[in-house]
Structures are given as structure tokens and as C-alpha cells.
Amino acid sequence: MILGCWVSHKLSDATSISTFINNWASTAREGAVDAQLLLTPDFKTGVKVFPLTQKPHPSRSTNLVVNEQQLVLKIFLFDGPSIANLKTKALSKDVPSPTRVEAVSALIWKCVTVSSKSNSGTSYLAHVMNVRKRLVPPLPSGTIGIFLGFSLCTKSERDINELPNIVTIVRKSLLEFPYSKNGTKSLNWDVALDPIIENWKMIEDNLSRSGDIELYLFTSWCGVPFYEANFGWGKPKWMSTMGLNSKNMILLMDSKDGGIEAWICLEAKHMLEFEQNKDLLAFATIK
């Protein structure tokens, strides 16, 4: 049996969708669920923190839009033991305990830049971030809506293209969120909207600055409990998205066995080089 759910990204992010699906599954089983796993949908708090605004929303950059016939999407599976090995190779004095998302992201970024043959000289990595827990005070985990920001880091030809150094670059960008030109970094409820909008605008500015910019957009659904949804027939065997159709977009999500699936969308000529990278294939298999 296959169960699909189509939700507008204008209304919800992955956390919101997971909250909806798990509550739907609980209702289908007449409330039979582990109460500790079920998040109560909260439709009110988000509106209080981020009321309707007339401020312009950054538009999607045309640098990510490519003829779909030129794009290739492939799934790369990192199993549990491979991730443990990868984390060991990625640790350093600056980051003695990298997360599995940091380690996998760093490896992918290292390999895509090697295979891109870009002339830009500088590569950008943006991570989509769930800001619920970063607000002060944190939003309830079941808050429905889109509560996302971006971390942004750069790597030039002068940087050492090795895992420990790349993980350090990624970690630094995550710790520096949110970025603000005027120094306003507070994420208190009463002032959080401005730095988050500025954060989105920063990503748009970097994308639109040059037609030759090399930016990879990562989003992680790891830890989002899609595999806990049980409608009465048992938990899912496999959870997936409908696909990606933007250049240089990478989606990380949990696999059933505790590993990570990396859904990677690249231009065809780029994917041909990337999927043969020996450093990548030492830790991942093509699904």
C-alpha cells in the first residue's frame, strides 16, 4: 500500500507535515499512539510570533532553475556503519564530535565541488534550518507553518578540501546564524522576523549576484519522525519525496535502518562525474 500526501510549501515545512501525518495516523487508529512521540499541532503561536506582514518575500533565483531535461536526480545511501566511519574521519580539534548531517554534508560538498569543473573559484553551501528551537523562547515543536532560515558558508580554492576542515566551515556557519548587517542577532519573538527575512534576502543576493555562482542548497529531514506514522498496517517501509527539480539541491533524510539517504539533483554532465567520485563511493552506494 502506498499513501501519499501533497501539501503546499507555502503553508508548511517538513516538521509541520510530519506533525500532520502522525496525528492523522493516530486518528486512524482511534488515538492509539505513544503520547511522547505525538506532537500536538499548534496553529496559534506561529501567527503571534510572525504576524501577516507586507515585507517582500525573496523570490526564487533563476540560477537554480534549469531545464528539467538537463537535470538528474539520484539517491545515495549512507548506512549506519559508513556514517560512523565518516564521522571519525571528519572530526578535528575544532569539531571533536561532528553530527552525522555535518559529516555527510561535508563529504557531499567536497565531492560535488571536485566534480563541478566550475570556473567560479568559490563554492557556497546553504543549509535550510528549522528555527523553532532557536527562537527565544523556543516555539513548540508542533507549531504549524514554515519556520526556516539559512546558514551560509563558503569554500574557496585556497581552503583545504579535506573533511575535518570542511566540517569546521559548516559548523561555524551554523553557530553564526542568524546573520545581520546591522548586528541584530536576537531571535526574541518581538524582533525575530527582521533578522530571518534579512537572512533569506542574503541567500537571494548571493544567488543572483552572478550567473556563474556555485551554490549547493542542503535541506535535512533527518530526525523528523516520518517513519513513526502507523495507520494500522505497521510503520512505513520507505518514505520518500516526490522528487527534486532544482539544480544543486540536496535533500537528506533518514533511511529505515538508521542511515541517511541523500537525494541529489545536479545537471547531467555534473552528475556523471560526481557519481564516480571514489571518496563518495567509499561511504555511499547508489540506490
pLDDT tens-place string over residues 81-125: 999 999 999 999 999 999 999 999 999 999 999 888 665 678 889
Q: Which of 5-9, 12-16, 104-108, 196-200 has the lowest mean pLDDT?
A: 196-200
Q: Which of 10-24, 87-101, 200-214, 227-241 has the lowest mean pLDDT?
A: 200-214
Q: What is the mean pLDDT of residues 114-140?
A: 84
Nearest to 253 by CA among 18, 1, 5, 11: 18
Domain boundaries, the chain: 14-53+66-286
Q: Check residues 259 and 243 and name the one with the higher pLDDT.
A: 259
CA 61 to CA 207: how far, in whole Å? 6
Neighbours of 70 (CB within 10 A): 12
Residue 282: per-residue pLDDT: 97
CA 52 to CA 49: how far, in whole Å? 10
Q: Does residue 17 register a pLDDT over 60?
A: yes
Residue 97: per-residue pLDDT: 95
Reading phi first (left if > 0) and then psi (alpha if -120 to 50, else beta), residue 163 is in alpha
Cβ–Cβ under 8 Å, residues 256 and 228: no
Alpha helices in the chain (DSSP H): 14-28, 45-49, 80-90, 100-116, 163-176, 193-208, 268-274, 278-281
In 3-state terms, what secondary structure has residue 190? Answer: coil
CA 104 to CA 102: how far, in whole Å? 6
Beta bridge partners of 102: none
Nearest to 16 by CA among 162, 170, 131: 131
Report which DSSP code applies to 70: G
CATH number of 14-53+66-286: 3.30.559.10
Mean pLDDT across the chain: 85
Q: What is the pTM of this model?
A: 0.88
CA 35 to CA 29: how far, in whole Å? 13
CA 232 to CA 216: how far, in whole Å? 39
Residue 184: per-residue pLDDT: 54
Residue 216: per-residue pLDDT: 92
Q: Does residue 181 register a pLDDT over 90?
A: no
Segment 263-286, tens digit of pLDDT: 999 999 999 999 999 999 999 999
